[in-house]
């Protein structure tokens, strides 16, 4: 049996909506993008959503819109994807890495508090795997020190913690619609915010800093000049992508129920399997269940990755701790044990297949292949990072 790491669930409804767009006048940012933004904001319970080309773009524009720049420090977790951090460098600010909670991989408010200096301007908590960071605690720390909170919600279109969803406690939340995400259009993203000023700024910044987009220019009866009011970027979401996203919104709840059932099946099996652990979903949190990862012994991890691959089970590593990657090492100079929890998680992680279309017999096959892989005594490898 071959079990893919990911299979998307797009079908006839998505094809119909995209076809409708292809037969219409606008392929770029117009009516479907606006409809998606309104429906997405409603679903999140946040006033404003703005569609962009990726979560990376969303993070970049959030930093720019909040005025983060040279001389500023931005606190980020050491356990995340590099996209959380690279935009901090793009705006000329300095990322300050924080260690994560050893049981969840999430950024704790206490770790942020300990790193605040007079130069700290913002914090980017990551809702890792779909489980939300403690936004109430982080909001308190941020308010005490006058910091902006930018949520990296790439994994978390559907998470809730202590009654809060992404965008409801942070100043702005950033989402990814990348190919493997719970809500996908291949490549895409969005910001969500309660602040009209930030939504307006991101809307302008996503399209060159122009005062009008193509649809505004078209719908005016006579030609109206546009202006460039600020230095912007080319990060807008187009109507073809929005058309792919729209039919998925009503299906997200049922998909989450299936993701939850798969995770429970994994967790029941792995909690009884010697040598295997997995991150916990914090109390009071409904995880979006984007990724399912297990933790195995450091010296067995790479051998297990190889075994799974050789036996037709798609797997990945989300993630090795960022401070162990070459560029981070060279630029920030942290020793591997500077962030021991992130290091340990990064050396033990194996990500397993998780998507609504995964069948129970496939889940069981993954579990049995992990069991076989851990008892197989091939050569052990250097876990690197
Ligand atoms: C935690 C995290 N942040 C940001 C991103 C960037 O998302 P995108 O590929 O949409 O730019 C990803 C992508 O996988 C991610 O996992």
Residue boundaries of the structural domains of the chain: 12-250, 252-375
CA-based nearest residue to 158, from 132, 122, 184, 126: 132
The yes-or-no verdict on residue 222 having pLDDT over 90 is no
Tell me, in angstroms, the distance from the centre of ligand 1 to residue 118's CA: 29
Lowest mean pLDDT among 52-61, 98-107, 206-215: 206-215
Atom of ligand 1 nearest to the CA of 188: 10
The yes-or-no verdict on residue 216 having pLDDT over 90 is no
Instruction: Quick: pLDDT tens for 56-106.
Output: 999 999 999 999 999 999 999 999 999 999 999 999 999 999 999 999 999
Instruction: Quick: pLDDT tens for 249-271.
Output: 999 999 999 999 999 999 999 99
Residue nearest to atom 4 of ligand 1 (CA): 83
Tell me, in angstroms, the distance from the centre of ligand 1 to residue 216's CA: 30
Tell me, in angstroms, the distance from the centre of ligand 1 to residue 206's CA: 17
The yes-or-no verdict on residue 346 having pLDDT over 60 is yes
Pocket test for ligand 1, best of 88, 150, 176, 206 (most atoms within 8 A of CB): 176
pLDDT band with cut points at 50, 70 and 90 for residue 380: low
- Asked if 320 and 385 count as a contact pair (C-beta separation under 8 A), the reply is yes
CA-based nearest residue to 181, from 343, 360, 6: 6
Question: Cα separation of 133 and 127, whole Å?
Answer: 5
Can you give the pLDDT at residue 88?
A: 98
- Does the domain at 252-375 match CATH 3.90.1150.10? Answer given as yes
Atom of ligand 1 nearest to the CA of 83: 4
Can you give the pLDDT at residue 378?
A: 64
Question: Cα separation of 309 and 369, whole Å?
Answer: 10
Lowest mean pLDDT among 24-28, 87-91, 167-171, 369-373: 24-28
The yes-or-no verdict on residue 135 having pLDDT over 90 is yes
Fold assignment, 12-250? 3.40.640
Tell me, in angstroms, the distance from the centre of ligand 1 to residue 243's CA: 21
Pocket test for ligand 1, best of 6, 83, 179, 183 (most atoms within 8 A of CB): 83
Tell me, in angstroms, the distance from the centre of ligand 1 to residue 154's CA: 5
Q: Provide the mean pLDDT of the chain.
A: 96
Tokens 């909040």 belong to 66
pLDDT band with cut points at 50, 70 and 90 for residue 383: low
Can you give the pLDDT at residue 381?
A: 54
Instruction: Quick: pLDDT tens for 143-159.
Output: 999 999 999 999 999 99
Atom of ligand 1 nearest to the CA of 58: 11
SS3 (DSSP) at 133: coil
Can you give the pLDDT at residue 382?
A: 56
Instruction: Quick: pLDDT tens for 157-169.
Output: 999 999 999 999 9
DSSP run (H or E) holding 229: none
Pocket test for ligand 1, best of 81, 187, 188 (most atoms within 8 A of CB): 81
Top-confidence residue, 294 or 384? 294
Can you give the pLDDT at residue 377?
A: 74
- Asked if 146 and 90 count as a contact pair (C-beta separation under 8 A), the reply is no
Atom of ligand 1 nearest to the CA of 127: 1
DSSP-assigned beta bridge partners for residue 49: 192
- 181: annotated active-site residue: yes
Residues with CB under 6 A from ligand 1: 54-56, 80-81, 83-84, 126, 152, 154-155, 176, 178, 189
Residue nearest to atom 16 of ligand 1 (CA): 81
**pTM (2 decimals)?**
0.96
11-17: average pLDDT: 98
Can you give the pLDDT at residue 213?
A: 75
The yes-or-no verdict on residue 246 having pLDDT over 80 is yes
Question: Cα separation of 98 and 109, whole Å?
Answer: 10
Tell me, in angstroms, the distance from the centre of ligand 1 to residue 376's CA: 34
Atom of ligand 1 nearest to the CA of 80: 1
From 2, 32, 181, 212, the catalytic residue: 181
């Amino acid at each position: 049996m071959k079990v893919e790491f990911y299979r998307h669930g797009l079908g006839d409804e998505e094809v119909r909506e995209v076809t409708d767009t292809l037969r219409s006048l606008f392929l770029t940012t117009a009516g479907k993008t606006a409809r998606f933004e309104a429906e997405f904001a409603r679903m999140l319970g946040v006033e404003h959503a703005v569609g962009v080309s990726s979560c990376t773009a969303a993070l970049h524009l959030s930093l720019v819109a909040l005025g983060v720049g040279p001389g500023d420090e931005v606190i980020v977790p050491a356990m995340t994807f590099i996209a959380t951090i690279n935009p901090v460098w793009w705006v000329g600010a300095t990322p300050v890495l924080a260690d994560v909670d050893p049981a969840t991989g999430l950024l704790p408010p206490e770790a942020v508090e300990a790193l605040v200096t007079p130069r700290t301007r913002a914090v980017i908590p990551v809702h890792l795997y779909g489980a939300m960071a403690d936004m109430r605690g982080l909001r308190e720390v941020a308010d005490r020190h006058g910091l902006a909170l930018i949520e990296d919600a790439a994994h978390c279109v559907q998470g809730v913690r202590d009654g809060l969803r992404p965008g409801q406690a942070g100043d702005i939340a950033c989402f990814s619609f990348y190919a493997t995400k719970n809500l996908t259009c291949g490549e895409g993203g969005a910001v969500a915010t309660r602040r009209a000023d930030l939504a307006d700024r991101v809307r302008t910044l996503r399209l060159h800093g122009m005062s009008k987009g193509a649809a505004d220019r078209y719908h005016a009866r006579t030609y109206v000049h546009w202006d460039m009011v600020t230095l912007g970027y080319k990060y807008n979401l187009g109507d073809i992508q929005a058309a792919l996203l729209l039919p998925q919104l009503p299906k997200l709840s049922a998909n989450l129920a299936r993701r939850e059932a798969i995770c429970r099946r994994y967790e029941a099996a792995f909690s009884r399997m010697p040598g295997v652990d997995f991150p916990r979903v914090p109390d009071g949190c409904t995880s979006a269940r984007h990724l399912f990862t297990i933790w195995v012994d450091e010296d067995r991890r790479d051998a297990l990755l190889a075994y799974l691959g050789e036996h037709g089970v798609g797997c990945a590593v989300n993630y090795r701790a960022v401070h162990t990657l070459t560029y981070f090492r060279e630029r920030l100079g942290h020793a591997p044990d500077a962030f021991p929890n992130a290091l340990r998680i990064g050396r033990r992680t194996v990500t397993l297949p998780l998507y609504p279309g995964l069948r129970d017999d496939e889940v069981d096959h993954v579990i049995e292949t992990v069991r076989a892989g851990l008892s197989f005594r091939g050569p052990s490898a250097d876990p690197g990072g």
